[in-house]
Chains A and B, each alone.
Chain A
Amino acid sequence: MDFRLTQEEEAFRNEFRAWLRQTLPVDWDPFNQPTFKDPEKIRDAYRAFQKNLFKAGYAGMHYDKAYGGQGRSLMEGVIVSQETGRTCISLAMPGVITHGMALPLIYFCGSEAQKHAFIPKILDGSLLWCQGFSEPDAGSDVANISTMAIRDGNDYIVNGQKVWTSMAHFADYCLLVVRTDPDSRKHKGLSYLLVDMSLPGIEPRPMTQITGEAEFNEVFFDNVRVPVASLIGEEGQGWKMAITTLMFERAMGDVVISAAYETNIERLVQMAESTKTAGKPMIEDPVSRQQIAQAYIEIMALKFHGLRNFSSHVKSGIPGPEGSIGKLLWSEPNQRITEAAIDMQGPAGQIAGGPWSVQNGTWQYAFLRSKGNTIEAGTSEIQRNIIGERVLGLPKDAPRV
């Protein structure tokens, strides 16, 4: 057992850290970056950063060179993600679906033509993706999808509505789950399409979330003609592909998130050191000290659980059962930590920005945004069902009569 990086990995990490320092502006402040209130700005910032990564040879670390990747180890891929998460998560965030879902799905399930067409353009930042899963009647019951894709010559005609589609208002492509067999029910008969968002008949309508910004959308599909060549994998195999790719990327995702949250703890300590309450530094208040330490401890549990999971995954090739709890381990602590941060501020906890706010109101934003954490990407309740049924082997809920 060894928690350290190897010498080569450590050298690579230092090299990448130095590159980041050189590339980011001198006065870079990870906590004061544009939000989704300014979608063009964050999209452009993502594209520019990803392009730089690509040019410098840090994009798609563990992907095959034939498709524009670097052909390096998974661990080096993790190092890039960790360091990016630690220093500039806001630049990587708009690409979370692109790199966490679209890229692995195309890499593992796509045809040669699709891999060559999409992977290089994902890696150099020119294609940004959203994913169309949820629908008004298919939330947690995601297999209840009713958006239809009916074959017509060389096209599918797509009709239906998606919802909670993050970044659809500025994405170039959509990873769209549709029902290709109108007589099918539930998991069967679902397929994946790689859909160009500029096609006629697609209309994203941004929805304002409780932070005041619009990160997600309703997306309407009205007789959209999607070429049959956009189908990825086999028709009717969409569900299986979704599950496999999601599991594969989960381990990586947890590692990135924990790196970003570690920075949050440093920021929390800074807050307590630089803010006064009753004329005394907050850091001297025993209750605040307990809260900050608890925050640190929970993030360490996330970090080391993520690394352990990733490590056993690399060794065995299969994600272990410990992977299934990663989502719960980041979403729920993040809610507790951001709430503790504004509680510690006392009356200033009400102020969301301006000169009398604490740390420019970033904790107020983080607190509100965290409420989405236990809903997005599978609610906590769905995660506990998955653990209960698939890991512990408990019986499924039988409908009561």
Chain B
Amino acid sequence: MDITLSKTQQNIAKEARRFLKKECPPEVVQEMYSDDPAFTDDLWQKMVEMDWMALRIPEGYGGMGMEQIDMSLLLEEMGRAIVPGPFFATVVLAAEIILAAGTSDQKTQYLKHISDGTIKATLALHEPDGGDDPGYIHMSAERDGDDFLITGTKLYVPDAHLVDFIIIPVNTHVSDNFKNSISLFILDAREKGITISPQPTMDATRKLSTVSLDRVRLSKRAVLGELNQAWDPMLHALQRAQVGLCAESVGGAQRAMEIATDYAKVRVQYDQPIGSFQAVKHMCAQMFMEAESSRSMLYWASWAQDHGDKNEAAIAASSAKSYCTEAFTKVASKGIQVLGGTGFTMDNEMHLYLKRAKANQAALGSPKYHRERVMQILSPLAM
């Protein structure tokens, strides 16, 4: 047993922190926040040069073939800096799904270009009335000769307004077992019949869109992997993305805690720093506890994706997703309280952390959803 970081892993985090301090400081994020695309090509290109897009992509497809834990360390730093833009959608969601579900030709076609930064992609998972259940897939495909005509609406699609490709799960097979009914399609975001409408989001650094498809014609070649057999690989990839959100949350919680603690050391009231008052000190201590214990959960969940058995990988991802994102929310909320009126203004960066925390909590399965998933593993016979 060794739950410490190797030198290489420490360097991933160190390099990322140095880079983001320079290229994506709070002023830049604040500026992008009030900006519509919440993205700059310049930052994207520089991230490509850092090889970040290639981190998890296997060497055979032009990547570096690293593990989930390595990605988590990078995402921790990105969460710390609240990096806006389609990195998460492209690299953590889309690339992992292509990796898990795609044929080797498709991997060659897409992963190489994701790793060199030339394409951006996202996953359109949720549907109206489905809540956070990834199994609620009613979008159907009408067969027309060898083609499929796809109609329906997908919701909460991250950064769809910026991407080249969209991956959509569709119900393609009338079977009692929905696990044998789900297919993934990968389609050009500019395909005829697709409408992408950005929605007002609480966290403006992570834009979400509604994606409507009106008889979008797709050939068989657009099926990612095997027809009707996408459920298992999709869940597997979603688990990694959930761990990715945990990593962002740990980094965000760590930074929010530091901002509040630094402020408590210098803000003087009643002739002394407010951090000397137990009511404030204890909030800071609680924030530290939340951030550090979340990090331990993150390491377990990251490790389990590559080395645990199927059950451990699933229960660890769900436990961590629930724990780390709730912890981030608690930390950011306390962060605003410690900062007082200052923390309640747009000028201060703390609002970015609160908004990202709530976004991470709600995306890819709320804590409620993940606790139920934990329960299904703890007591598989009931229900």
Chain A interface residues (CB < 8 Å from chain B) = 1-6, 9, 75, 265, 269, 272-273, 281, 283-284, 286, 289-290, 292-294, 296-298, 300-302, 304-305, 307-309, 311-312, 315, 321-322, 325, 328-329, 381, 383-385, 387-389, 391-398, 400
CB-CB contacts below 8 Å: B253-308 with A: 261, 264-265, 270, 272-273, 275-278, 281-282, 284-286, 288-289, 292-297, 299-300, 303-304, 307-308
| The one of B285, B374, B375 that contacts A388, using a Cβ cutoff of 8 Å | B285
Which residues in B have their C-beta under 8 angstroms from that of A394?
A: 261, 264-265, 273, 275-276, 281, 284
* Inter-subunit contact A272/B293 (CB<8 Å): no
Q: Which residues of A contact B293 (CB under 8 A)?
A: 301-302, 305, 325, 329
Chain A residues near B368 (CB-CB < 8 A): 290
Q: Give B371's nearest chain A residue, CB to CB.
A: A293
B275, A293: Cβ atoms under 8 Å? no
Chain B residues closer than 8 Å to A294, beta-carbon distance: 322, 371
Q: List the 5 closest A-B pairs by CB distance, nearest first.
A: A293-B371, A388-B281, A394-B275, A387-B285, A305-B296
Contact A300 B284 (CB under 8 A): no
Q: Is B346 an interface residue (CB 8 A)?
A: no
Once the chains bind, are A392 and B4 in contact (CB under 8 Å)? no
> Which residues of the partner chain B approach A265 to less than 8 Å between Cβ atoms?
378
Question: Is B379's beta carbon under 8 Å from chain A?
Answer: yes
Given A293-B371, A381-B278, A394-B281, do A301 and B379 touch, yes or no (CB 8 Å)?
Answer: no
B296 contacts which chain A residues (CB < 8 A)? 301, 304-305, 307-309, 322
**Shortest Cβ distance from residue B1 to the other chain A in the assembled complex, whole angstroms:** 6
Asked if residues A325 and B270 are in contact (CB atoms below 8 Å), the reply is no
| Least CB distance, B219 to chain A, in whole angstroms | 43
- B5 contacts A by Cβ under 8 Å: yes
Tell me, in angstroms, the Cα distance from A286 to B383 when the chains sit together: 10
Set of chain A residues within 8 Å of B378, measured between Cβ atoms: 265, 269, 292-293, 296
Residues of B within 8 A of A269 (CB): 378-379
- How long is the Cα–Cα vector from A2 to B278 in the complex, in angstroms? 38
Provide 6 A-B residue pairs closer than 8 Å at the C-beta atoms, listed in order of the A residue. Answer: A269-B378, A312-B3, A322-B296, A384-B278, A393-B265, A394-B264
Say yes or no: A297-B323 contact (C-beta < 8 A), given A3-B300, A290-B372: yes
Decide: B282 and A304 in contact? CB cutoff 8 A.
Answer: no
Q: Is B319 within 8 A of A296, CB to CB?
A: yes
SS class, residues of chain A in contact with chain B: helix
Interface contact B1-A311, CB-CB below 8 Å: yes
List of A residues within 8 angstroms of B308 by Cβ: 3
Known: A297-B322, A388-B282. A325 touches B276 (CB 8 A): no
Tell me if B2 counts as interface (CB < 8 A to partner A).
yes
Q: Does B182 contact A (CB under 8 A)?
A: no
B265 and A395 within 8 A (CB):
yes
A113, B140: Cα distance in complex, Å = 81
Q: Please give me the residue from chain A that is nearest to B280 by CB atom.
A: A394
Bound CA span A286–B375, Å: 10
In the bound complex, do residue A2 and residue B1 qualify as a contact, i.e. CB atoms below 8 Å apart?
Answer: yes
A308-B295, A311-B3 known; 5 other A-B pairs, CB under 8 Å? Answer: A1-B3, A290-B371, A290-B375, A301-B323, A395-B276
| Cα–Cα, bound, A397→B292 (Å) | 24
Instruction: Please pick, from A9, A290, A305, A392, the residue contacting B1 in the complex, using a CB distance under 8 A.
Output: A9
Q: Which residues of B lie under 8 Å from residue A325 when comparing CB positions?
A: 288-289, 292-293
Q: 1/0 per residue B347-383: CB within 8 Å of A?
A: 0000000000000000000001001101100110111
CB-contacts of B293-346 with A (<8 A): 293-297, 299-300, 303-304, 307-308, 316, 319, 322-323
The smallest C-beta distance from B70 to any residue of chain A, in angstroms, reads 10
Nearest-neighbour CB distance to chain A for B96, whole angstroms, equals 20
Q: Please measure, in the bound complex, the distance between the C-alpha atom of A294 and the C-alpha atom of B326, giving whole angstroms.
A: 11
Give Cα A281 to B382, complex, Å: 9
B319 contact set on A, CB distance < 8 A: 296-297, 300
Distance between A149 CB and nearest chain B CB, rounded to angstroms: 33
Shortest Cβ gap from B316 to chain A (Å) = 8
Give the distance to chain A from B58, nearest Cβ to Cβ, in Å.
20
B40: Cβ under 8 A from any A Cβ: no
Q: Tell me if B382 and A397 are in contact (CB < 8 A).
A: no
Expressed in whole angstroms, the minimum distance between the Cβ of A28 and any Cβ of chain B is 23
Find B382's partner among A283, A328, A385, A395 (CB 8 Å cutoff).
Answer: A283
Contact A400 B270 (CB under 8 A): yes
B6 within 8 A of A: yes
Q: Which of B261, B307, B379 contacts A3 (CB 8 A)?
A: B307
Judge if B137 is at the interface, Cβ distance under 8 Å: no
The interface residues of chain B lying within 8 Å CB-to-CB of A281 are 382
Instruction: Name the A residues within 8 Å of B9 (CB-CB).
Output: 1
| Contact A297–B277 (Cβ < 8 Å) | no
User: B250 at the A/B interface (Cβ < 8 Å)?
Assistant: no
| CB <8 Å contact, A301 and B1 | no
Residues of B close to A290: CB separation below 8 A: 368, 371-372, 375
Inter-chain contacts of A286 with B (CB < 8 A): 372
Docked-complex contact B1 and A4, CB < 8 angstroms: yes
Whole-angstrom CA separation of A166 from B148 in the bound complex: 74
Q: Is the CB of B289 within 8 A of A387?
A: yes
Interface centre among A292, A394, A397 (most CB of B within 10 A): A394
Given contacts A387-B285, A394-B261, A394-B265, contact A2 B303 (CB under 8 A): yes
A297 touches B275 (CB 8 A): no
B69 within 8 A of A: yes
With A2-B307, A300-B297 given, is the CB distance from A397 to B278 under 8 Å? yes
* A309-B300 Cα distance, complex, nearest whole Å: 13
Instruction: Give chain B nearest CB distance to A323 CB in angstroms.
Output: 10
Q: Please state if A385 and B278 are interface contacts (CB–CB under 8 Å).
A: yes
Residue of A nearest to B292 (CB): A322
Are the CB atoms of A392 and B285 closer together than 8 Å?
yes
Among A283, A289, A298, A391, max chain B CB count under 10 A is at A289
Known: A1-B6, A292-B378. A392 touches B284 (CB 8 A): yes
Decide if B281 touches A284 in the complex (CB within 8 Å): no
B299 touches A384 (CB 8 A): no
Closest to B289 in A: A325
Task: Tell me the complex Cα distance, A4–B285, Å.
Answer: 31
**Residue ID in chain B nearest A6 by CB atoms:** B1
In this complex, which of A4, A5, A315, A395 has the most chain B Cβ atoms within 10 angstroms of its Cβ?
A395
Return chain A residues, CB-CB under 8 Å to B303. 1-3
* B residues in contact with A322, CB < 8 Å: 292, 295-296
Determine the distance from Cα of A95 to Cα of B1 in the docked complex, in whole angstroms.
27
Docked Cα-Cα span, A301 to B270, in Å, equals 38
Please state if B275 and A315 are interface contacts (CB–CB under 8 Å): no
Query: Closest Cβ of chain A: how far from B283's Cβ, in Å?
Result: 9
Q: Are A384 and B282 in contact, with the CB atoms below 8 A?
A: yes
Q: Is the CB of A284 within 8 A of B270?
A: no
Cβ-defined contact, B371 with A395, below 8 A:
no
Return the chain B residue nearest A291 by Cβ. Answer: B371
B1-17 CB mask vs A (1 if < 8 Å, else 0) is 11111100100000000
**Nearest residue, chain A, Cβ from B319:** A297
Flag if B285 contacts A384 (CB, 8 Å). yes
Tell me the complex Cα distance, A269–B4, Å. Answer: 32
A315 and B292 in contact, given A272-B379, A384-B285, A394-B284 (Cβ under 8 angstroms): no
